[in-house]
Amino acid sequence: MLRAIAAVTSIEFLETGMVTFAAGPIMSGLGARPDAFALSFTVYAVGAIFMLYKHQWMVERYGYRNFTLGSLLLFAIGAVLCATASGIGQFTVGRALQGAAGATFFTAGRIEVNRVPPERLFYGVLAFIASLLSATALAPLASALLTDTFGWRALFWAVVPLCMAVALVAGPHLSRSTAPAHERSREHWGWVLILASALLCLQYALQEMQFGLLAHPLRVVAFALPACLILTAFAWRQWHRDRPLIDYRALLHWRYALGIVLYFIGYFMAGSSGFLLPIFAEQALGLPTLTTGAVLTVAFLTGLAAALVHAFMFRRWPRLRPYMLVGLAFCFLGWSLLALLDAGAGWTALLLPAALGAASSAFFFGPVAFGTFVEVDQKAFSHAYQVKNIVRQLGLSSAVAASAAILQWRFAERLGDAAPSADAPAAAELMHHVLGNAGSGETAHIASQALFAASNDTFIGFALLVVPVALLVWRQRIFH
């Protein structure tokens, strides 16, 4: 049973980490600009949110075993589409399928922990946490090895046998139980598809706010306003149903609401770091791919050690706010040290800020997880975790969109300082070549310098963003 929990939980974290690490090579291989690549992350999140809304519906009718095995098949099909893509269109479709399928695994792993006998529950929780942290830690090195040896497409081809292995390990142990017909949640598929369309429009509008608000303000409004109206109508409809897909009525208390906000902030920070660090290390500092992957894996293993330290300390001093503030302090220091690096810095200079970023997640997410769900009724736990995972997808996709937008904006500004004749389209095209390690001579040198300066600007911005979050955590009186 513990192996099943670990296998199901780890696969999506491993694949997401590998894809995020290899963002630069994938963009170059597909000939995609940062905004188009960010949209593929948005579509992944929308696919995941769509399936998270239908998660309970599917489990009630098919059981976790059949639902998970079907999701593994869909995840593999999406991986094949990504591996064979010649452009961003097919790649985005593949990522949408992977998002819909991958949303199953994290929630399924956590819910299956509840089936572990009480005397072994501690080991079930440990297997769940260790598997997701280990997968996150191994992802950069695995991505670097595959990309450096076989190219970026190998990241997705490798997922196919991995899905088969997870099915063999986990399939026999997952629950086959279904819910009686009179207890099942109800919702028309059409409404959920409309919800997915509205979420896609809203995420696209948020992305356009970062990439082209000043140039196309009406486009942003045209996508955002209908999306907000549809989401409001869907929420109203769910609120008045006897057996909704997600029962928000059982989750309406301040502790859970604050926890969800803090979860979003944490995933936003973690997603931004995961997207920016590989690009900065490889293209701005010029580190080899394998070196970058090894550095980030060591940093994430430091985060795993920090999580164990936090768990030990929490047993003796069970407080929430102090640990969260420590995590935010680590985050601020990590971003600040990255912003202070020199252009000729080596891998040793990158190790400390990367390790601080990983440790910050351990000290921040632990208290948030404990504080958010402590008052949630056991009957509503599945719904509460579905909402939390929806927020995870929104946080990660928003992080990639915001990071790509800010980096592209600052790159254009810095390139304009070095080469005043470069306009925005030319800057975007040049950034695409830099991310793919293309180009040579003076132009490539200027572009690399501009990317380094743009990265420093971006790191400063994220460091400053930590300050109001720390003030929020310090002033609130719920997580104490």
Same domain, 266 and 166: no
- Asked whether residue 336 is domain-assigned, the answer is yes
For the chain, what percentages of helix, strand and coil (3-state, to nearest 5) are there? 85, 0, 15
Residue with the larger pLDDT of the pair 79 and 130 = 79
Domain final residue, candidates 146, 170, 194:
170
Same domain, 290 and 417: yes
Domain final residue, candidates 143, 170, 197:
170
pLDDT given at position 421: 46
* CA–CA gap between residue 472 and residue 71 (Å, rounded): 38
- Asked whether residue 402 is domain-assigned, the answer is yes
Residue 8's closest CA among 108, 126, 139, 97? 108
Looking up residue 147, the CATH number of its domain turns out to be: 1.20.1250.20
312 pLDDT more than 70: yes
- Asked whether residue 178 is domain-assigned, the answer is no
* CA–CA gap between residue 121 and residue 128 (Å, rounded): 11
Kindly state the tokens that stand for 138: 């191994």
pLDDT given at position 330: 96
35 pLDDT more than 80: no
Count of domains for the chain? 2
Same domain, 358 and 266: yes
Same domain, 276 and 128: no
Radius of gyration of the chain (CA): 22
Same domain, 97 and 5: yes
* CA–CA gap between residue 286 and residue 343 (Å, rounded): 9
> Of 9-13, 55-59, 459-463, which has the strongest mean pLDDT?
459-463
Residue with the larger pLDDT of the pair 214 and 461 = 461
Same domain, 163 and 250: no
Query: Which amino acid, one-letter code, is at 219?
Result: R
- What average pLDDT score do residues 194-217 get? 68
Kindly state the tokens that stand for 404: 């790509």
Q: What residue numbers bound the domain in which 475 lies?
A: 246-480
CB under 8 Å to 23, separation ≥6 — which residues?
Answer: 37, 275, 278, 279, 400, 435
- Asked whether residue 201 is domain-assigned, the answer is no
CA 465 to chain CA centroid, nearest Å: 18
* CA–CA gap between residue 144 and residue 161 (Å, rounded): 19
- What average pLDDT score do residues 385-391 get? 83
- Asked whether residue 230 is domain-assigned, the answer is no
Residue 109's closest CA among 49, 45, 173? 173
* CA–CA gap between residue 321 and residue 387 (Å, rounded): 23
* CA–CA gap between residue 385 and residue 369 (Å, rounded): 10
* CA–CA gap between residue 166 and residue 186 (Å, rounded): 30
- Asked whether residue 309 is domain-assigned, the answer is yes
How many other CB atoms sit within 10 Å of the CB of residue 375?
12
223 pLDDT more than 90: no
> How sure is the predictor about 108, in pLDDT bands with cuts at 50, 70 and 90?
confident
* CA–CA gap between residue 25 and residue 436 (Å, rounded): 6
Least confident interval from 15-19, 193-197, 335-339 = 193-197
Task: Give residue for tokens 């992957």.
Answer: 293
> How sure is the predictor about 212, in pLDDT bands with cuts at 50, 70 and 90?
low
Query: Which amino acid, one-letter code, is at 300?
Result: F
Q: What DSSP letter does each residue of 308-352 carry, written as one string?
A: HHHHHHHHHS--SHHHHHHHHHHHHHHHHHHHH--TT--HHHHHH
Residue 370's closest CA among 170, 129, 206? 129
At 410-452, the pLDDT tens digits run 888 887 665 554 445 545 555 555 555 545 556 667 777 888 9
How many other CB atoms sit within 10 Å of the CB of residue 186?
11
Kindly state the tokens that stand for 403: 């990071």
Same domain, 427 and 329: yes
CB 293 within 8 Å of CB 140: yes
18 pLDDT more than 80: yes
pLDDT given at position 359: 93
Sign, Cα dihedral of 167, 170, 173, 179: negative
> How sure is the predictor about 206, in pLDDT bands with cuts at 50, 70 and 90?
low
* CA–CA gap between residue 463 and residue 457 (Å, rounded): 10
Same domain, 256 and 363: yes
Least confident interval from 36-45, 123-132, 331-340, 447-456 = 123-132
- What average pLDDT score do residues 211-229 get? 70
Same domain, 376 and 271: yes
Same domain, 472 and 328: yes
- Asked whether residue 191 is domain-assigned, the answer is no
> How sure is the predictor about 127, in pLDDT bands with cuts at 50, 70 and 90?
confident
At 46-66, the pLDDT tens digits run 888 888 878 888 888 888 889
pLDDT given at position 351: 93
CA 93 to chain CA centroid, nearest Å: 18
At 130-157, the pLDDT tens digits run 888 889 889 999 999 999 999 999 999 9
Residue 359's closest CA among 382, 327, 387? 327
- Asked whether residue 195 is domain-assigned, the answer is no
How many other CB atoms sit within 10 Å of the CB of residue 13?
22
* Inter-axis angle of helices 88-113 and 23-30, nearest 10: 150
Domain final residue, candidates 119, 140, 170:
170
Q: What is the dihedral of CA 190, 193, 195, 198, to 10 degrees?
A: -120
- Mean of the per-residue pLDDT values of the chain: 83
Length of the chain: 480
Task: Give residue for tokens 């192996």.
Answer: 3
Sign, Cα dihedral of 413, 417, 418, 420: positive
